[in-house]
Every structure is written in C-alpha cells, then in structure tokens.
Amino acid sequence: MKSGNGKYRTGTQPRTALKAPVDLKSVRKKKQAGEIPTQPNTRMLKRREFFMLLVFTLSLFFMLYRVGFIQFVKGEEYQKKAYSTQTQKRMINPKRGTIYDRNGKGLAISASVDTVSVNPNGLRSEVKEPEKLQQLAQKLGEMLEMDAGDILEIFYKNSRFEYIKRKIDRDLGARVRNYVIGELGLQSIYIDEDSKRYYPNGSLAAHVLGFTGVDDQGLAGIELKLDATLRGMPGKIMNEVDVLGRPISFSKERYVEAVDGYDVFLTIDETIQYFTEKALEQAALNYNLKRGAAAIVMNPNTGEILAMASYPDFDPNDPDAKPDFVDDPDWKGFSSIENTNLLWSTVFRNKVVNDTYEPGSTFKAITAAAALEEGIVRPETTVVCKPYSLAGHTINCWHAGGHGQQDFAHAVYNSCNPVFVQEALAVGIDKFYSYVRMFGFQKRTGLELAGEPTDEEYRNLWHKNPTEIDLAVAGFGQRFQISPIQLATAYCAIANGGNLMKPMLVKQISDSNGNIIQKFEPQVIRKVISEETSRTVRTILEGVVSEGTGKNAYVSGYRIAGKTGTSETLQTESEGRYVVSFAAIAPADKPEIVVLVVLDHPQVEMHLRSGGILAAPVAGKLCEDILEYLQVERQYSEEDMKKMTEEVYVPSVVGLTVKEAVEKLKAYNLNYLVEGSQDENAVVTAQTPRADFSVPRNSTVILYTEGSPQDNMVPMPDLTNKTVDEATATMRSLGLNIRIKGEGTALSQQYEPGTLLPKGEVVDVEFMLLIAD
Amino acid sequence: MRKREYDFWLLFAVIALTAIGIVMVFSASSYYAAFTVNNKYHYLIRQLLWSGVGLVLMFVVSNIDYRRLALLSPILMLVSIVLLILVAIPGIGSVSNNARRWFNLGFTTFQPSELMKLSLIMFLSFSLAKNHGRLRFFFSGLVPYLLIVGFVDFLLLLEPHYSCAILITAVAAVILFCAGARLLHFFAIGGPALAAAAYLIYSSEYRWKRFVSFLDPFSDPQGAGYQVVNSLYAIASGSIFGRGLGKSLQKYLYIPEPQNDFIFSIVAEELGFVGAFTVIAFFLLLIWRGIRISMNAPDMMGSLMAIGLTSLIAIESIVNIAVVTATIPVTGMPLPFISYGGTSMLFHLVGMGILLNISRNNTYSLAPVKGAELLKRARQGEG
C-alpha cells in the first residue's frame, strides 16, 4: 500500500511515469533479478475500466430493449394469455325459451334452478383444516343428497373451478347459500343461477318437442331443430383472481347478463295431441303393435299440424329412462352406447317423419283424384271388378272373384284393386307420376324436425323407371314407400279444394316479452286438383265410411270421409309385415281436420289384420273426440236419428204397486221382471236400472218387492265373437241388458267375463264388421 | 489529503433506487405477506428498517477512509471464509429451498455470502494494489488469485449457492482484468471454464431443464417455465405506462415471492416501460458514476475497489433483468436496492458507502468530467 500511495497519480500524470510496453523476456529477467514493476499501468487500468463501463451500459441498453420487445412486440400475445389465467369466468346459462302449443299452453318450460360449484384451490386456502373440509363435505352431501366422499374428492382437485351439483331446486339453492355464504362466509363455493328444462306433460308430444342435454342444448325434435332460437346467449361472471382463484380486492365482479332464448309457439294443440296419443296407446295395448304406431292430425286448410304422435314414446324429463319393453337390469341409459342406440332406434324415433311404409289402399284416394281430375272417370261411371291380367301377373280383388259390375264410387267403397289398376293405366305412367310428385311425394316436406328422409332417399323408395306393371300396382298403393307426413299432406290437398300446403309445426317465434320475432304463415305449394275434384273425392270417401270398408270409423252425427289401408311388405321377418292404416277427412263437407293413423305390425289374428278392422275405429273415435273438442256441431242423418231414439230414460217406479209400475214401464217401451212377491199390489221397493238412467229400448227393468239388487248378482258372460242376436239372447237369459254398439261380431264388452253384476244392469258391448280391403 | 464532497449523482442514484425499492417491495409483497404471514406490512416494515440501517451505515462508512478499511480486508476475508465454512455445517446454517445459506439470528437471517462479496472485493483490491506487477505472470501472478476465488467458489458450492459463486467469480474477473491480467490468460482459463459450465448444465437434469425452459418457457408453463412465463405476462401487461402503482395482477401469487428476484417484472407491470426505463436509467447513472470514481481514484487500490463494487451492482442488476426478461436462464439473483432482502440490502449500501468515500478522495470530484472529455483523455493516453 505504501508503495502505491502517493506515487499513483491520475490521468494528468505525465506519460513518463508510465513504463514503456515491456517484452516478455525483459520482464522475466527483471523478475529473476527481483525487479518487479511497482508502478501501476494507469493507462491500461483506465482503459479497461472504461471498457467495463461500455460493457455494462450496452448490457443495460439491451435489457431495456428486451423489456420493450416483451411489452410492445409480444405484448398483446402475452397479455391475452395472462388475462385468461388471471380471470375466472363462470358461465350463466340463459333461460331457454318456452315451447308453447297453439293456445299458449307450455309444453317445454325452463325453470330457474341453482347450480353449486366450487373453486377447490381457493377453498383449501380458506378452510385449511382437513377436518373442517370433511365436515363441510359431509354437510353439503346431506343437503345435496350426494356422497360426502365424492364432494371431498372435488375439494382436493387441483383446479379453480368444478361443479358440485348442477340444477338443484331454488329452495335448496337458497338453503345451501345460507349455510355456505351466510353461516360460514366462504367465498370459494358459488351458488349460481341456472335453468332446467322440464316438460309439464311428461311424454306428451315428446317426439315433436325432443329433449335437451345437461348443458341445456337441444338433442332432438324442435329442441334440436330450433336450438339456436331457443337457446339464447349465455351470460358470464368474470373476476380477476389470484393464483388460487380467489377474487382480488380491487377487482370488480363483471357480470354479463344472459340473454334469454326466444319462445316458440307450435301449431300443436295440446288437447288434440292428448287425444291422439291416448288413441295410439289404446290401440297399441289392444292390438299388441310390435312396431308401434304413428298418427298425425292436420288442419287441411292451413297445413298446420295439430297433433303428431308416435308410439312407443318417452318422457323428455328423463329421456334415457329404461323403456317398458326393455328387460335389462343393467340399464345405463346414455352412459351406454348400446342403450343409447336402442333408444334412438325405438322410443326416440318419430315414426310420422322418420319412418316410411307402403300406404296400401289409403293411396287409392290419390289415384282416384288423378283419374277424376283427368276426366277419365266419374263417380257414376260403370266399372268392372274382376281379376286383371297384366304382363303375366294377375291382380285380384281382396273379395274373392271381385265385385263385378258397379259404379266407380262403389269400387272405391269396396276398395277394388283391379278397378284402380285400370284407372292408373288409363291415367298413364307420365301423368300418374306427375300427380304423385304434385301431391308432394318423392320430396321432403321440409318440416322443422330432424330425421326426415332426403329427396333422394324418398325417390329411391319408388321405382326408378316405372313400367306398366309398376304403375298398375302403384295404383292401389303398393311396392313403394312414403312417410305418414307425406300422405297426410296429400290428403290435406284433397280435403281443402286442391291446394298442397306446406306442413307447419311452428306458428310463431317471440321474445321473452312477447314481441313477435317471426310469424309463419300458411304456404300453398301448388294447386294439385280442382275444387270440384276435391269435392267429388271427399264425397266418395264419405261413402267409404258410411257404407264401405271404412264403416268402423263411422261416428253418428259427424260426416267422416276416409280410406282404409292394409299393406304387407315382404321383409326379412318370416311372418311378413302388416301395416294397417286409416286416413280420414272430417267433416266431409267442410273439412276441419285430416287424420292419419298408422298401426305397425299388429299381433292379432290373421283375419283381423286390416285397416278397416283395426285402424278405422281408432281413427273414427279420434275424429269424434277432436271434432267434439273443436265444437263442430253434429249433423245427424236420418239413420243416426233412428238409432238415437232407441234409447229411453228409465222412469222411477219405486213406491208404486207392481201393477202401476208395469203399466208405466210399458209406456216407455221397457220390459220388466219382478223379484220377490209377484202380487200385483205388492209395492216396488227398489229397481235396476235406477231412475233417469238411459237404457236401450226394450231393456228389462228388474222390480224388487222383496230383497235388494245386491242379493241378485249374476256373472257377466263372455260374448266374444258372438253376433248381435246371439249376444242379446245370452244377456237376456241372465236378466242383463245389452247396449249394442256397432254391428257385426262382438269385439269387446264393458265388463270382463265373470264380473258379478246386479240383474238389470246395462252392459255396453262393441261389435265390429269383419271386412278386409 | 483534503476531504472533499461525495459524488452527488452516485448518492442520488442509490437513494432513488432504495426509495423505489421500498415502494415496490410494499406493492409487490402486500398480498403475498397478507397471505403468508397475515400482515401485509410485513415486508415493508423490514425493508424500511434495513434500508434505514443501511443508509446510516452507508454514511458512517463513507466517512471512514477506504485505505484504513482496506487494512481490515485480510481479517474480513478470514472471517468470511470461517463463516462460509460454518454455514455449510448442518445444524449451524439453516436450510431453505434445499440450500444451507443462512444463519438464523432470530430477528433476522444473515447470509455470509453477502459479507464475502465485500470482503473479496476489498481483499483483491488491497492485495492487487501491491502485487499488480506480478499479474502479468501466470503462475506467480494470476494463479494465486484464482486459487483464492476458486476456494471461495468451492465454499459457496457446498451450500450450494451457484448464483453467488457466478457473481463473485465475475466480479473477481473484472477486478483482475482491470488490474492488468493478460487477455491471453483470460481466454486460456475462460475457454475451459465455459466448457466445464456447459458440461455441468448438461449433466444435471434439473439444470438442463432450467436451461431449456429458458429457451422456450412456454413449453412447460406450469413447470420449469412457470416463473419466467409469469414474469413475461407481468412485463407484457405493463405496456407504456403500466397498470398503475399497486395494480399488478401477477403479484397475486402468480409470481412466487413477487418482492424478491422477480420484482422488476412487477415494476414493469405497474409502472410500464416508463418505470422500467427509469429503474434501468438509475442503474446506468450509478454504474457511470461508480466507474468514473474508479477512473479518478487517487490510487490503484481505490480504483480496483470502486470498479469491483460497481461491477457487483452492475452484474447483479443486468443478470436479474436478463432473467426476468427471459434473456438468460433463471439464476437466483436479486435486483440490488429494489428486491426485498434484509442483510443483502445492508451490505449493498455499505459497499456504496465505501464507493462514496473513494469519491471524496477523487482528484476530479469537484469538476464533473463530461463523457466526451473522458474519451478525449483516454485517447490522449493512448496516443
């Protein structure tokens, strides 16, 4: 130090103080000689220090450049990434739009519910003690009816957001909120508003409505097709959060409100839909329909679909529940692919739109319309029904040997195949298929439902280059396939004066405040037949019901026009495939509805498998229910009136003497039977049927002078397959009264055989004409 | 020698940086402190305390002639070595993050490596001022110093404390370089040293991962690249003027211990490019004044001591900012004066006190020399 001090001077020091550059040799020599330079090389020292200043300065400038590069070149990219980690976003599901029927009755409704979620990382920093977490899981498990272990597992996930339970009742949500936030003051468990779809009428219109998934997304039916309309815009809750997902102090919770979905008004009428489904369900039960059934009700004047039903059905509230016909203890629903596929191929299938079938004789209405429109035939034109030979094939009528000579109208009543072969051939290949297309076949109807075949698929169900024999068979509705919705639409054209209407399922879309967003108007696709032809066909079809193969669809007071259909398609199944159907237009003079009922694969005795026997009564009853509901006034024909007067009201004879009573009953056209003392002056103490009860004329009233009706019970006999006369006699012999419904052979009776009934009881028995077509 | 005034601009830079440090430590640490020790002022209070004590010590030291202090340097060196050996002994040094670096004194922790930085700078300057002539010779001149530095490094690696070893080696290299070590020798040692370092990085999976993560931190943003990625998010979020003081989001535990090594990214996030520029500018001012002092020191010992103390700050700040800007792999080096760090703050300020004292003995301390003139003079010296 001493050597350095004092001798060392700064840069102003004369250069002489500095040693000249030394060569290595001389230095070594000096070192050996003990001459080591003690004078510091000031120039070099300063130069090197100055060099370090440059190095440090440049380095820091480079660092400044790096900061700028990150902030200005990479800034946006990094900021975006930073934003996504620094903010937590919770979605709020919008309220899904309501689906209403045409009268504003809610068919699919979204209820406000709550969803419970958690920020596990945040929760664990809020509740540090494992026992307390355990306790919380236990309590929540009890409230939410969940396994506490499952909840605890969620609590220990390395995550900032997990659902605990979605879509719980609002009451329960409020209780959970009270406990978690009110009592415990936790910030990491959220109870957010959510919405849940529910279908107040259960399975009603299930195929039209479809169903939704857990995220409220439409998965089938209108829910799927109009998903974007119904869905709305999700809202969100955004928070700037720390690394554990807890909101930071100065961050304001940003709340973007959800926009509710639009409401959809269907053309469906809830009540008519109910009638339709009941009718199908009953038919399925009675006829053991192996492949289910389909029915559609339309307003022919507008093309609006009033009801659309498919059987079997499902409950959209619980779409993946095990269907009744499945026997599988391990049913897993949507969590199993097999189960899911089964559901889609059975209960979820909307047979009205998704399935095609051979229409059979119901298609004769189309052939008749074409022939009438072309002026080839008139209702009174004489035609001959006898086996028809064409290109080596013989086409027979269902009635052995045919119906012989008759007018065209009666050929339709009798559903004579050979006559329709003649008419189809007379119309000719080009014209016939042109009518087929004009009536809307070979083309999709464009209904707002998924799963309708495409135009090409439809076309492939017809002959590509039809020959005469193809035409001949097509004339009575065989060897091609159509969907129920197509046939119903074609019948609408026949019913409404000849206009092919676009089938409508959606009437209107409006927002949650009721403002109309979109209104759908009936749309005429084209004029197919003239007003006159339309009227003529309707008149002929009315005859089918009043005196032809459709007699079982007859409803007194309502003029129903219709056509039966039976087809047997050769399928892989050995027993073949029967589809029986009935298409109806009612009332025939001023049509309000078109009804099509298709029953697939009825498992009844062979001779009963016809549209006239199976489908006609279902369609007739359905027409009656609907027309009554639509308050269409009954117009009774003379025959109807005659039948109506066959009923009388039982007078009260209790308290009278037997003599007086018998006189009174005679005046009412009623028979009598006295139980107990037969004395003329004995007083009647009781009577069956009771007073003011409507009974058929000539029924027997039981008069009691002793004892009571309870002491005179008789078992109900089995009347199945008995004729009207046979059945009447059997009942009379037992002292029971019969109310005859229909004609032909007994099909069903009000009480099961063996049921004990008091004597004098009136029992309804349905009879049916066994007719094929 | 007549006592002169302190170098004002150096003092200004030190106080400015310390003040920024206090503010930023509070801003960066409040949430972390509230979260960990349930007191958001925890780090602020300590930073204030250490800064206060440090500034007082700085003024005290600045009034002690550095030549007298330098006489103590061999003893300080010995004490530092003993402490470094002691701290490496289990049971005496306390462990944190798998390293045994601290003495737990109860009210605070103390890192002997901090003391070693100062001791080594002083000792090397003290010794080289006498022996600079020998430095031209490899074995008799340079090697003994290399052995000393190597020994210190060895002790640091025992803890282990790699970043400090690197720093001490770098600072020693600057001192030796300025003292006149031959460039040829530097290359002869530096080449193999770099190769050895490369091998060390490659041989350990941990180090290799850290190294690779620096090249592409986004390849493993939740793992090895986590700190760097979040540092980049913070800096990028700052833009020109920053989110505003106290409004960092990344300090919400996204950056672990935001008041420590990564505080610069919080500065950049809250105060933006302007803030980062200001901090860097103060460091530039400090380095410029520090090297000016060394160039104008009255003797070689003062000159070497000044360049050593300045390099210490320069290298630490450059490395720290390079790390947070993903320019070099992560090394645990705090940002001098700004990062929270009890005793290290104290020693940095003591170092600045020595530097200030050297400035009082400067021949030019009354007349600030302009850069251009400096250059001119340097050229004159050459010509």
> Of the ranges A291-295, A746-750, B261-265, B359-363, which one carries the lowest mean pLDDT score?
B359-363
- The ipTM assigned to this model is 0.91
Domains in chain A: boundaries: 88-266, 358-553+563-578, 644-768
- Is A1's CB within 8 Å of B301's CB? yes
b/e per residue A13-42 (b: at least 16 CB within 10 A): eeeeeeeeeeeeeebeeebeeeebbeebbb
DSSP alpha helices (H): ranges in A408-474? 408-413, 417-427, 429-438, 455-459, 468-474
Query: For residue B182, how many other CB atoms are within 10 A of its CB?
Result: 16
pLDDT of residue B134: 83
Band of pLDDT at residue B367, cut at 50, 70 and 90: very low
C-beta separation of A570 from A576 below 8 A:
yes
- Is A242's CB within 8 Å of B31's CB? yes
pLDDT of residue A128: 85
Is any Cβ of chain A less than 8 angstroms from the Cβ of B119? no
- Side-chain-facing half-sphere of B161: CA atoms under 13 Å: 28
From B272, which residue of chain A is nearest by alpha-carbon distance? Answer: A71
- Is A43's CB within 8 Å of B295's CB? no
For A74, the closest of B133, B236, B291 (CB atoms) is B236
Q: What is the pLDDT of residues A646-685, one digit of tens each?
A: 778 888 888 888 888 888 888 888 888 888 888 888 888 8
- Is B250's CB within 8 Å of A49's CB? no
Is any Cβ of chain A less than 8 angstroms from the Cβ of B295? yes
Does the structure show a pLDDT above 60 at B166? yes
Query: For residue A556, how many other CB atoms are within 10 A of its CB?
Result: 13
**What gap in Å lies between CA A237 and CA A232, rounded to an integer?**
17
For A53, the closest of B140, B238, B287 (CB atoms) is B287
> In Å, how far are A460, A489, A490, B371 from A442, measured between CA atoms?
8, 13, 12, 94
Of the residues B237, B313, B379, the best mutation for testing chain A's interface (the one with the most A CB atoms within 10 Å of its CB) is: B237
Walk along chain A (773 residues) in steps of 10 and give the mean pLDDT of each run: 42 41 51 56 88 96 95 90 83 88 93 90 87 91 91 90 90 91 87 88 93 88 92 86 77 81 95 95 87 94 96 92 87 90 92 91 94 92 86 80 86 89 92 94 88 90 88 90 95 95 95 91 94 94 89 88 84 65 93 95 79 89 94 82 75 87 86 85 86 82 85 88 86 87 82 88 84 63
pLDDT of residue A36: 56
**What gap in Å lies between CA B349 and CA B343, rounded to an integer?**
10
Question: In the annotation, is A361 catalytic?
Answer: yes
**What gap in Å lies between CA B249 and CA A82, rounded to an integer?**
9
Q: What is the pLDDT of residues B303-346, one digit of tens each?
A: 999 999 999 999 999 999 999 999 988 888 899 999 998 788 99
3-state secondary structure of A609: coil
> Of the ranges A54-68, B96-110, B235-249, B309-323, which one carries the lowest mean pLDDT score?
B96-110
pLDDT of residue A543: 92
From A125, which residue of chain B is nearest by alpha-carbon distance? Answer: B35
**What gap in Å lies between CA A672 and CA A661, rounded to an integer?**
9
Chain B residues within 8 A of A36 when measuring between CB atoms: 133-134
Give mean pLDDT, residues B140-163: 90
Chain A residues within 8 A of B67 when measuring between CB atoms: 1, 5
Q: Tally A–B CB contacts below 8 A.
A: 184
Residues facing A578 on adjacent strands? A568
**What gap in Å lies between CA B355 and CA B302, rounded to an integer?**
9
pLDDT of residue A651: 86
**What gap in Å lies between CA A652 and CA A661, rounded to an integer?**
9
- Is B318's CB within 8 Å of A43's CB? no
Is any Cβ of chain A less than 8 angstroms from the Cβ of B378? yes
* Amino acid at position A167, single letter: K
> In Å, how far are A307, A365, A446, A561, A592 from A303, measured between CA atoms?
12, 18, 12, 18, 11
Is any Cβ of chain A less than 8 angstroms from the Cβ of B237? yes
pLDDT of residue A18: 38
C-beta separation of A223 from B232 below 8 A:
no
Is any Cβ of chain A less than 8 angstroms from the Cβ of B312? no
pLDDT of residue B368: 42
- Is B321's CB within 8 Å of A68's CB? no
Query: In chain A, which among 323-362 make CB contacts under 8 A with chain B?
Result: none
pLDDT of residue B1: 43
For B136, the closest of A27, A81, A248 (CB atoms) is A27
pLDDT of residue A17: 37
pTM of whole model > 0.90? no
C-beta separation of B305 from B61 below 8 A:
no
pLDDT of residue A742: 77
**What gap in Å lies between CA A98 and CA A510, rounded to an integer?**
10
Chain B residues within 8 A of A49 when measuring between CB atoms: 178, 291, 294-295, 303, 307
What fold does the segment set A358-553+563-578 form as a domain? Beta-lactamase (3.40.710)
> In Å, how far are A284, A338, A347, A725 from A326, measured between CA atoms?
16, 12, 11, 44
- Is B325's CB within 8 Å of A41's CB? no
- Is A82's CB within 8 Å of B249's CB? yes
**What gap in Å lies between CA A493 and CA A498, rounded to an integer?**
5
Chain B residues within 8 A of A86 when measuring between CB atoms: 233, 249-250, 252, 254
What is the longest distance spanned by two Cα atoms in chain A? 173
Is any Cβ of chain B less than 8 angstroms from the Cβ of A49? yes
- Is A70's CB within 8 Å of B307's CB? no
**What gap in Å lies between CA B358 and CA B62, rounded to an integer?**
8
A361, A415, A483, A610: the catalytic one is A361
Domains in chain B: boundaries: 8-379
pLDDT of residue B145: 92
Query: In chain B, which among 330-359 make CB contacts under 8 A with chain A?
Result: none
DSSP string, A458-515: HHTTS-SS--HHHHHHHTTT-SS-B-HHHHHHHHHHHHTTSEEEPPB-EEEEE-TTS-
* Amino acid at position B68, single letter: R
pLDDT of residue A26: 52
What fold does the segment set A88-266 form as a domain? Penicillin-binding protein 2a (Domain 2) (3.90.1310)
Of A27, A579, A590, A535, which Cα lies nearest the Cα of A287? A579
- Is A56's CB within 8 Å of B238's CB? no
> In Å, how far are B201, B316, B322, B324, B331 from B334, measured between CA atoms?
21, 7, 11, 10, 9
Q: Burial-class residue A667 by CB neighbours within 10 Å (0-12, 13-18, 19+).
A: exposed
**What gap in Å lies between CA B316 and CA B171, rounded to an integer?**
10
Is any Cβ of chain B less than 8 angstroms from the Cβ of A46? yes
Share of chain B above pLDDT 90, in %: 52
Peptide bond preceding A758 in cis form (omega within 30 of 0): no
**What gap in Å lies between CA A267 and CA A263, rounded to an integer?**
13
What fold does the segment set A644-768 form as a domain? Trypsin Inhibitor V; Chain A (3.30.10)
pLDDT of residue A758: 87
Query: In chain A, which among 248-277 make CB contacts under 8 A with chain B?
Result: 248, 250
Query: In chain B, which among 188-217 make CB contacts under 8 A with chain A?
Result: none
